[in-house]
Structure 1
Amino acid sequence: MASIRREVLVEARPQHAWAAARDVGNIHTRLVPGFVTDCRLEGDVRIVTFGNGLVVREPILDINDDDRRVAWAAEGGQFKHYNASVQVFDEGAERTRIVWIADLLPNELAPTVGDMIEQGLAVMKQTLERSAG
């Protein structure tokens, strides 16, 4: 099983970053606009449309306010297995470290998923820093 871990430092308060990350039905406006162009909730499943046109069903597995961690899976498509999480860590009063981890099968999808995670984190950083004011 491939495991991908990426992180980014964001010049924004951890509370601000967590509020956006935990709002799982509005990631297309609050967290990663453009990278995700549409998002809607159907119960505990979010339907995500990525900027490249890919549409994915993502069951939300956990929203943990104590750990500031959101976990989700992906159903269908090329994945035999996909589980991911985003976690928000304090790096001081005005700085946040965001860690995105994904475990997936088949392993051959890891380079593509790794690239998408890096793109998503870059948009996340830009969005959170711009809206932190």
Structure 2
Amino acid sequence: MATVQMDIDIDADADVVWKVVGDFATAPERITPGWVSACVADADVRVVTLQNGIIVRERLVAIDEERRRIVYSIIGDTVQPAHSNASMQICATGPGRSRLVWIHDVLPDELAELLYTNMSDAVHVIRETLAAK
């Protein structure tokens, strides 16, 4: 199984960042405006459309408010992994500073390159957007 991990330092309070990242229904558009062109949620499933045309259907697995951690998996559309488990966790690193740890485990391993490319592109937008919160 392949793992892609991105650690993003953010110039914003962890609780403020978590309020955005922890909202399963709206987080993709709110943390990556323009990079995500649409996000439609229905209960525990959301369909995220990226600006590059990739469409990803994701299922919410868990939200841990105390640890500021959300877990979800890709369940289909353009990308159809045999296994997918992703998490985003917000950690306080100091006054007005936080870190987003974004981890995605995926099978088959060949999907890791696509995930790495898209996650790498997204982190720049995420950092700037969340620092402005």
Q: TM-score normalized by structure 1? A: 0.92
Provide Cα deviations, 1:75-96, integer angstroms capped at 9, x if missing partner.
1234111110000000112101
After superposition, where does 1:84-103 map in structure 2 within 5 Å?
Answer: 84-103=86-105
RMSD: 1.2
- What are the ranges of 5 or more consecutive residues in structure 2 without an aligned counterpart? none
What SS does the aligned partner of 1:75 have? Answer: strand
| From 43, 68, 81, the counterpart of 2:83 | 81
Which one-letter code corresponds to 1:43 in the other structure? A
What SS does the aligned partner of 1:52 have? Answer: coil
Which one-letter code corresponds to 1:121 in the other structure? V
Q: Which residue of 2 aligns with 1:123?
A: 125
- What are the ranges of 5 or more consecutive residues in structure 1 without an aligned counterpart? none
Is the 8 Å Cα contact of residues 74 and 82 (structure 1) preserved in structure 2? Answer: yes
Is the 8 Å Cα contact of residues 74 and 80 (structure 2) preserved in structure 1? Answer: no
Q: Which residue of 1 aligns with 2:13?
A: 13
Is the 8 Å Cα contact of residues 28 and 37 (structure 1) preserved in structure 2? Answer: no
Aligned positions, number: 131
Is the 8 Å Cα contact of residues 31 and 129 (structure 2) preserved in structure 1? Answer: yes
Q: Percent identity?
A: 34
Q: TM-score normalized by structure 2? A: 0.92
Runs (4 or more) in structure 1 with deviation over 6 Å come to: none
Question: 1:27 Cα deviation (Å)?
Answer: 2.2
Q: Which residue of 2 aligns with 1:61?
A: 61
Of Structure 1 and Structure 2, which has the larger fraction of its residues in strand? 2
